Amino acid sequence: MARPRKPTALLALTGGYDNNPGRLNASRGDEPIEQRALGDPPEHLAAPQRATWLELERIAPAGVLTFADRPIVELAAVLLARFRRAGELLPMPEVTRLQSLLAELGLTPAARSKVRVVSSKPVGRFGSIGKRPDQRPK
């Protein structure tokens, strides 16, 4: 089975473009950019599932989860709430799917270790020298 494609936001946070500038190609350049925040949990979720949604939103790396991720976050929240309720009785395929979803959202130790925090330090006069045009301050 092929490895799933890493989301562009997560690729940028993990330094994928710095390590391999060739990744920033035409196929990624036309990708839609979602500006809206994840938002509140859907009303149809049960109370434990809504609490799990809010927890996932709180622990996710900043800037990774957006409005477009709502369906996958909902599925992860439902499975995580079910896991917490059922514990060892949760079927192994559901546990495996939950682990996969958490990794896709950058919420596993391996995925989180690859996320970089972007420095908010002010850039000096020569701070943009040697950087790609899309990385230079406006």
| Predicted confidence (pLDDT) per residue in 87-133, tens digit | 778 899 999 999 999 988 888 888 777 665 444 455 555 555 555 55
**Residue 123 located in a structural domain:** no
Residue 38: other Cβ atoms inside 10 A: 19
**Residue 1 located in a structural domain:** no
**Residue 24 located in a structural domain:** no
**Residue 85 located in a structural domain:** yes
Residues spanned by the domain of 91: 8-19+35-117
Tokens of 104: 């896709």
Q: Residues near 114 by Cβ (< 8 Å), separated by ≥ 6?
A: 10, 13, 14, 15, 106
**Residue 138 located in a structural domain:** no
**Residue 112 located in a structural domain:** yes
pLDDT for 35 equals 81
**Residue 81 located in a structural domain:** yes
pLDDT higher at 12 or 104: 104
**Residue 130 located in a structural domain:** no
3-state helix, strand, coil in the chain (%, to 5): 55, 0, 45
| Number of domains within the chain | 1
| Predicted confidence (pLDDT) per residue in 38-85, tens digit | 999 999 999 999 999 999 999 988 778 889 999 999 999 999 999 999
